[in-house]
Amino acid sequence: MNDLLKLRQQRQQAFWGEVLPYLRYVMQSGLAIVTFFLLIVFAAWYTTFLQNVPQGLPVHWILLILFTPLAIYGSVRTYMRTADIVFMLPLEVRMREYFAPAWRSSVIGKTIWLLILALVAFPFYVRADMNAKSLSLLVIVLIIAKLLGSYGSWQELRMNTAAARVGYRLLRYVLIIGLLAAFLWLPLMTALIAVVVIALVYIVLLRIPGKASVPWERLIATEKNHAAGVMRLLGWFVDVPNGERKVSHRRWLSFVGNRVPWVPAKSFRFLVSKTLVRGELLPILIRFVIIGVVFVLITRESWFGIVVYLLFILLAGMQMTSLRKQHTDTLWLSIYPIPPESQRLETVKLITQTQVWITLLLWLPLASAGDPVRMILTFIAGLVAVWLYRRSLNRKWLKDIEAEAEFD
């Protein structure tokens, strides 16, 4: 127990030992082929795009939107467990040994993804911007942004008050976006001075709020969310055990579900509507739709735009399948007099309705460009994709029910 470094390694191995067997099924589900196909389609489109980059593209805005999420996102996998608050508390002064490798591997892993993105985007940058800065400078600034983002988010976890955590999270978003924007928009020397000043000011500001040496409960809760996130991602493709769920009140959405008809057959709809608006799925979907709209906007002039549009509709559906697994093991659904098929019917209905809204939102960038016939046909194709997805979801669910009944 005293060998903290080894303990973390053991926990990391145990977690991935649990996850890796599922990856085989994920690959078998066709993900590998789809990813490969999409990479080829993207490479073909991007090569053509680079040969003739349209004039007047908002290159700085596009790069800022591409780099910001990866630069800001600074999660650290600690693999901490609930019992740690009892058994590891006496080792609090030594916990740095436990956290240091976690922080290091997180920063390195995420920086690699950011740099891959930079390498892919750079050819576009130099063609679209006459005054583009060098690749080496771009890489250095992105690494600085990533380090600041990760360090900042770790310090936020340690802050004592919720107000400080929220305030500093906003500050991190603003300063990192400001840092990237300064680098992209300003002349070289001014940009570099701005980057250094922003970084120094941020580091100084992070020293102000009171912090816990180890924020045990928050670290454990955050780790549960990360683990659940991985399981949720796998859950798009295979049946995995339900992890811990993060819930937010979102009072402004409390009305959702209240107008569901007052009959036992619809009562599950009441529950699953609350699950949708208060769980982690809603912010994921919102972020997903925003990214989708940006991608559709960028690619809407070519046929690739239609592929992107349909892909985002299907991926949104896949994300929402997690709703199916949220209540599989709840005691009350086995005891309450709710018709057994209502869980499937109401979940599928909610997923379809939400997917139709997403289809409409993703279509808006297409609606303002191109010829009207293509525009309308694309929307119809989107609705057909929703219908096909609904059919496949229903079929798979019924098949699983039959398999379970046979097993019983």
Task: Show contacts with other proteins in window 261-300 (CB under 8 A).
Answer: 262-264, 266-267, 270-271, 274-275, 278-279
Can you tell me which residue has the tokens 């599922």? 22
133-140 long-range contacts, CB within 8 A, separation 24+: 133/183, 133/188, 133/191, 137/183, 137/188, 137/192, 138/183, 139/115
User: How many Cα atoms within 13 Å fall on the side-chain side of residue 75?
Assistant: 16
Minimum CB distance to other proteins, residue 282 (Å): 11
Minimum CB distance to other proteins, residue 259 (Å): 12
According to DSSP H, which parts of 73-94 are helical?
Answer: 84-87
Smaller CB separation from other proteins, 60 or 274: 274
Name residue 211's beta-bridge partners: 159
Q: What is the gyration radius of the CA atoms in the chain, in angstroms? A: 24
Minimum CB distance to other proteins, residue 262 (Å): 6
Smaller CB separation from other proteins, 109 or 264: 264
- Size of interface with other proteins, in residues (CB under 8 A): 25
The answer to whether residue 207 forms part of the interface with other proteins (CB under 8 A) is: no
CA distance 38 to 295: 14
Contacts of 123 (CB under 8 A, 6+ apart): 50
Can you tell me which residue has the tokens 């976006």? 177
Smaller CB separation from other proteins, 277 or 318: 277
Q: Which stretch binds other proteins (CB under 8 A): 11-19, 114-122, 201-209, 257-265?
A: 257-265
Helix 59-72 vs helix 281-299: crossing angle, to nearest 10 = 150
Minimum CB distance to other proteins, residue 352 (Å): 21
The single-letter code of the amino acid at 121 is A
Task: Show contacts with other proteins in window 358-397 (CB under 8 A).
Answer: none
Smaller CB separation from other proteins, 189 or 262: 262
Q: Which stretch binds other proteins (CB under 8 A): 163-171, 205-213, 260-268, 373-381?
A: 260-268
* Local structure of 307: helix, strand or coil: helix
Smaller CB separation from other proteins, 332 or 407: 332
Minimum CB distance to other proteins, residue 235 (Å): 17
Q: Which stretch binds other proteins (CB under 8 A): 170-178, 196-204, 256-264, 296-304?
A: 256-264
For residue 200, the tally of other CB atoms under 10 A from its CB is: 10
Minimum CB distance to other proteins, residue 279 (Å): 6
Contacts of 353 (CB under 8 A, 6+ apart): none
Smaller CB separation from other proteins, 337 or 372: 337
* Site string (223-252) toward other proteins, x via CB under 8 A: ----------------------x-x-x---
Tokens describing residue 65: 């939107």
Task: Show contacts with other proteins in window 99-138 (CB under 8 A).
Answer: none
The full length of the chain comes to 408
Smaller CB separation from other proteins, 60 or 266: 266
* Site string (325-344) toward other proteins, x via CB under 8 A: -----xxx-xxxxxx-----
Smaller CB separation from other proteins, 74 or 279: 279
Q: Which of 238, 202, 244 is nearest to 220 (CA)?
A: 244
CB 278 within 8 Å of CB 250: yes
The CA-to-CA distance between both ends of the chain, in Å, stands at: 42
Minimum CB distance to other proteins, residue 215 (Å): 19
Minimum CB distance to other proteins, residue 355 (Å): 21
For residue 29, the tally of other CB atoms under 10 A from its CB is: 14
Smaller CB separation from other proteins, 211 or 274: 274
CA distance 341 to 348: 11
Smaller CB separation from other proteins, 84 or 346: 346
Smaller CB separation from other proteins, 167 or 339: 339
CA distance 235 to 29: 12
Minimum CB distance to other proteins, residue 85 (Å): 17
Contacts of 400 (CB under 8 A, 6+ apart): 239
CB 82 within 8 Å of CB 220: yes
Minimum CB distance to other proteins, residue 132 (Å): 47
Which spans of this chain sit near other proteins (rule: CB under 8 A)? Answer: 245, 247, 249, 254, 260, 262-264, 266-267, 270-271, 274-275, 278-279, 330-332, 334-339
